[in-house]
């Protein structure tokens, strides 16, 4: 089998990735998890073999993070990524030293395969492509009759050079810029779990029923669930907070849908959608209408471009380029605090429908998607849909699951059947 | 499968209480769900003895330095003898603390130790008679020893040789000090610094002859050009 990556190959971090090494800490791991639940228990030997093949197809995953004089960079990792049994809480900081220098890791438990990725190397869409290839080779090596049907990237097809590009640069327009200044958002607080713990609560909803429910409100699934999440925050707060404070949900946008790109690196942005506590009792229909209006007015190619261009401008700024790495890291950390975590209460990231070839579908039960949390944002929500099931996952470091409770109770009250699963195996807390 | 009547949701988890509201669940089907997640050992990592010892030594270091400084200033006899004590403690941390800490590139550690020891010896030399033995003999020979050690790494550890390559570039840059010593006649005799300068020239030409392309690529990577 040919190696498709020269060992001298190196990559600059993409525009979004430059942020992550600066803010990295055990309390802000910047890791997301994509899980595939198969219908049979995982065979670890075959999974390892599948990973060994898959990594050759994804040169931007086959890297280690190195310090330069002015910036971090990725260089080819000549070691092999090793799978492991799931033995720690989800979405923890990936320590490259314990992971053959890789910035992603594959673990397994019973019939579930987890791919956890440091956000510096890719976003959810890029990670999903890797996981799909991994599952394809896993099933193929198991002797199953599976075809790619043009939906899986394999070693047989030539990798498009566009896959490794920084698409933020391709669509950069220095003349189109807008301010990133925004009002600070309300932040959830409460007693927390231990530092290395993360609670996952998955709510499984039949996709068809959820889509029909959203349609009945003339909304998309993301708009509907965002409104439900805002309502959940209002229920939990119960009039305790300052009425002028605003709850803001950060909704990541896959830029590939607006700016055509094949990149497997980060190429996503976000819009913040919010409502003040003062308007908590205006009713769900009005709240959903507000969400729809805000999302439609923000998700416009020109507006998104104007908000993402300043990041590229900063990156290209000659004066900033020659600032030594450590000083630059400290600056980025401070800027992130001002235009990052402070501006939203919680994320709601919808990966959409995960389509797999028909030949592979019978072996797959469903996919799950989970996000890590940070000190300022201790709760995040992530959604994906597969095999007719929408998996809505809350990751939280808070002891109380009050937002999750309110969220799923609102959905249940809206007559949606919900099945809850969690990584909490023990009894009452 | 179980059900939470308060939340009106089905619960498919190995627990008797609802993950959302903590209320007891009602069993609605006896079908035994396989465990969804492993039971994670919640044992917190105990700080190693080394970490504790390091903290003790850090406290002792600060106490010793502060005490010496106070005594030195209170009973002043014309010599700043507390400076070599403080410097000695820093050098001890560089020589012993850095290797024990781990996780640092061996070459960078060697360079940090070399520079630390050289500065320390220059300090002692200048404080006690300024006879120039450090700049004349110790510093150039220390430089030669470290340069030879790192060059051996490049030859022996080919897998990771890119890392050592850049370290050699750093060593070549540090070697400029030997030329300055000769130029400004800081040492008592020139030959040890001439040997160090020769080593520096050998490093530079070695890099240019054996790895010109690799060197260019490595510099481009590090400087992000």
- pLDDT, one tens digit for every residue, chain A (429 residues): 444 567 778 999 999 999 999 888 888 899 999 999 999 999 999 999 999 999 999 999 999 999 888 999 999 998 999 999 999 999 999 999 899 999 999 999 999 999 999 999 999 999 999 999 999 999 999 999 999 999 999 999 888 889 999 999 999 999 988 887 789 999 999 999 987 899 999 999 999 999 999 999 999 999 999 999 999 999 999 888 899 999 999 999 999 999 999 999 999 999 999 999 999 888 999 999 999 999 999 999 999 999 999 999 988 998 888 898 989 999 888 888 777 788 999 999 999 999 999 999 999 999 999 999 998 999 999 999 999 999 999 999 999 999 999 999 999 999 999 999 999 865 454
Q: Does residue B158 register a pLDDT over 70?
A: no
Residue B65 placed within a domain = yes
Q: Are residues B12 and B90 in the same domain?
A: no
**Closest to A384 measured CA to CA, from A120, A205, A148:** A205
Whole-number percent of chain B with pLDDT over 70: 91
Enumerate residues 46 to 75 of chain A having a beta carbon within 8 A of any beta carbon in chain B: 66, 68-71, 73, 75
- Determine contact: A423 vs chain B, CB below 8 A: yes
CATH class of segment(s) A199-422: alpha beta
Inter-chain residue contact B221 with A418, CB threshold 8 Å? no
B102 touching A (Cβ < 8 Å): no
CA A272 to centroid of chain Cα atoms: 16
Same domain, B21 and B98: no
CATH 3.30.559.10 fits A10-153, yes or no: yes
pLDDT of residue A123: 96
Contact predicate A214/A220, CB 8 Å: yes
- Closest chain A residue by Cα to residue B1: A419
Taking an 8 Å cut-off on Cβ atoms, the answer to whether A405 and B21 are in contact is yes
**B57 and B31 co-located in one domain:** no
> What percent of chain B has a predicted confidence (pLDDT) above 90?
24
In a domain, B211, yes or no: yes
In a domain, B43, yes or no: no
How many whole angstroms separate alpha carbon A59 and alpha carbon A74?
A: 10
User: Longest Cα pair distance anywhere in chain B, in angstroms?
Assistant: 93
Rounded to 10 degrees, the C-alpha dihedral B160/B163/B168/B170 comes to -170
Q: How far apart are CA B55 and CA A376, in angstroms?
A: 30
Q: Do B20 and A429 touch (CB under 8 A)?
A: no
Residue A5 is predicted with a pLDDT of 63
Domain-embedded: residue B42? no
Residues B66 and B96 in one domain: yes
Contact between A359 and A392 under an 8 Å Cβ cutoff? The reply is no
Kind of pairing, strands A246-254 and A346-353? parallel
* pLDDT above 80 (res B21): yes
- Do B151 and B58 fall into the same domain? yes
User: What is the pLDDT averaged over residues B179-195?
Assistant: 85
Pair (B73, B10) in one structural domain: no
The span from the CA of A21 to the CA of A29, in Å, is 10
Query: Hey, of A407, A425, A426, which one would you mutate to test binding to chain B, going by the most B CBs within 10 A of its CB?
Result: A425
Minimal C-alpha gap between B147 and chain A (Å): 22
Name the residue among A110, A401, A419 with its Cβ closest to that of B10: A419
User: Highest mean pLDDT: which of A40-44, A341-345, B176-180, B221-225?
Assistant: A40-44
Q: Which residues pair with A422 in a beta bridge?
A: A201
> Assign residue A368 a region: left if phi > 0, alpha if psi is -120 to 50, beta otherwise?
beta
Same-domain pairing of B78 and B15: no
How many domains does chain B fold into? Answer: 2
Same domain, B98 and B196: yes
What is the reported pLDDT for A202? 97
Q: What pLDDT was estimated at residue A39? A: 95
Does B4 share its domain with B79? no
Tell me the shortest Cα–Cα distance from A87 to chain B, in angstroms.
6
Instruction: State yes or no: pLDDT of B199 exceeds 50.
Output: yes
Contact B9, B20 (CB under 8 A): yes
B76 plus B167 within the same structural domain: yes
Q: How confident is the model at residue B160 (pLDDT cuts 50, 70, 90)?
A: low
Residue B163 has what pLDDT?
66
Summarize pLDDT for B33-71 with one digit per residue, the tens.
Answer: 788 899 887 665 555 566 788 888 889 999 999 999 999
Which residue of chain B is at minimal alpha-carbon distance from A200?
Answer: B19
**CATH 3.30.559.30 region(s) of chain A?**
199-422
> Is the residue at B44 inside a domain?
no
**Same domain, yes or no: B4 and B82:** no
**B141 or A426: which leads in pLDDT:** B141
- Residue B204 domain-assigned (yes or no): yes
Q: Exposed, middle or buried: residue A290 (CB in 10 Å: 0-12, 13-18, 19+)?
A: middle
B221, A10: Cβ pair inside 8 Å? yes
A124 or B32, higher pLDDT? A124
Helical H runs in A317-382?
318-321, 325-339
Who contacts A317 (Cβ-Cβ below 8 Å, separation ≥6)?
none
Angle between helix B106-127 and B82-92 (nearest 10): 170
Q: Do A425 and B35 touch (CB under 8 A)?
A: yes
Check whether residue B99 and residue B149 sit in a common domain.
yes
Q: Please give the residue range of the domain that contains residue B134.
A: 49-223
| pLDDT(B32) > 90 | no
Residue intervals in chain A for CATH 3.30.559.10: 10-153
pLDDT at B157 over 90: no
In a domain? residue B133: yes
Contact by Cβ (8 Å): A96, A64: yes
């Amino acid at each position: 089998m040919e190696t498709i990556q020269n060992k001298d190959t190196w990559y600059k971090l993409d525009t979004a990735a430059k942020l992550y090494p600066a803010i990295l800490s055990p309390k802000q791991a910047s890791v997301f998890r994509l899980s595939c639940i198969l219908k049979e228990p995982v065979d670890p030997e075959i999974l390892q073999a599948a990973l060994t093949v898959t990594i050759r197809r994804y040169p931007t995953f086959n890297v280690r993070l190195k310090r330069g004089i002015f910036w971090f960079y990725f260089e080819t990792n000549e070691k092999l990524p090793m799978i492991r049994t799931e033995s720690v809480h989800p979405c923890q900081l990936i320590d490259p030293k314990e992971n053959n220098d890789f910035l992603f890791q594959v673990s397994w438990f019973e019939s579930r395969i987890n791919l956890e990725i440091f956000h510096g190397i890719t976003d959810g869409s890029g990670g999903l492509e890797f996981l799909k290839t991994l599952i394809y080779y896993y099933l193929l090596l198991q002797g199953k009759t599976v075809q790619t049907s043009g939906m899986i990237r394999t070693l047989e097809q030539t990798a498009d050079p566009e896959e490794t590009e920084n698409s933020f640069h391709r669509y950069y327009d220095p003349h189109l810029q807008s301010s990133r200044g925004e009002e600070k958002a309300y932040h959830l607080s409460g007693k927390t779990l231990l530092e290395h713990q993360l609670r996952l609560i998955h709510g499984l909803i039949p996709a068809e029923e959820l889509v029909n429910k959203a349609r009945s409100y003339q909304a998309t699934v993301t708009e509907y669930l965002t409104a439900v999440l805002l309502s959940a925050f209002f229920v939990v707060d119960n009039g305790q907070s300052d009425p002028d404070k605003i709850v803001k949900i950060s909704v990541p946008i896959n830029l590939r849908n607006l700016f055509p790109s094949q990149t497997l690196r980060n190429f996503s942005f976000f819009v913040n959608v919010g409502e003040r506590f003062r308007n908590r009792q205006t009713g769900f229909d009005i709240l959903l209408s507000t969400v729809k209006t805000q999302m439609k007015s923000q998700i416009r190619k020109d507006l998104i471009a104007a908000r993402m261009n300043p990041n590229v401008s900063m990156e290209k700024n000659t004066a900033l380029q020659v600032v030594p790495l450590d000083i630059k890291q400290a600056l980025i950390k401070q800027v992130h605090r001002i235009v990052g975590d402070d501006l939203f209460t919680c994320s709601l990231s919808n990966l959409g429908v995960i389509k797999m070839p028909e030949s592979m579908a019978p072996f797959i039960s469903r996919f799950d998607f989970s996000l890590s949390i940070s000190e300022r944002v201790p709760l995040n929500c992530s959604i994906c849909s597969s095999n007719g099931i929408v998996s809505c996952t809350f990751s939280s470091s808070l002891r109380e699951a009050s937002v999750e409770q309110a969220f799923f109770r609102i959905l249940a009250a809206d007559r949606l059947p919900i099945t809850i699963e969690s990584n909490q195996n023990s009894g009452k807390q | 499968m179980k059900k939470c009547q308060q939340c009106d949701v089905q619960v498919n988890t190995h627990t008797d209480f609802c993950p959302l509201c903590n209320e007891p669940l009602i069993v609605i089907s006896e079908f035994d769900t396989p465990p969804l997640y492993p039971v994670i050992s919640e044992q917190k990592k105990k700080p190693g003895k080394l970490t504790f010892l390091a903290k003790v030594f850090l406290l002792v270091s600060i106490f010793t330095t502060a005490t010496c400084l106070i005594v030195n200033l209170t009973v002043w006899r014309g010599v700043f003898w507390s400076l070599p004590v403080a410097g000695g403690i820093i050098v001890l941390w560089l020589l012993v603390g850095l290797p024990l800490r781990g996780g640092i590139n061996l070459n960078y550690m060697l360079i940090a130790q070399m520079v630390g020891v050289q500065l320390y010896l220059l300090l002692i030399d200048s404080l006690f008679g300024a006879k120039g033995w450090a700049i004349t003999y110790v510093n150039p020979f220390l430089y030669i020893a470290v340069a030879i050690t790192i060059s051996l790494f490049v030859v022996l550890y080919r897998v990771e040789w890119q890392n050592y390559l850049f370290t050699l570039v750093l060593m070549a840059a540090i070697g400029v000090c030997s030329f300055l010593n000769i130029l400004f006649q800081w040492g008592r005799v020139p030959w040890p610094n001439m040997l160090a300068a020769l080593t520096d020239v050998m490093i530079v030409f070695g890099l240019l002859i054996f790895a010109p392309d690799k060197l260019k690529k490595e510099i481009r990577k590090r400087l992000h050009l």
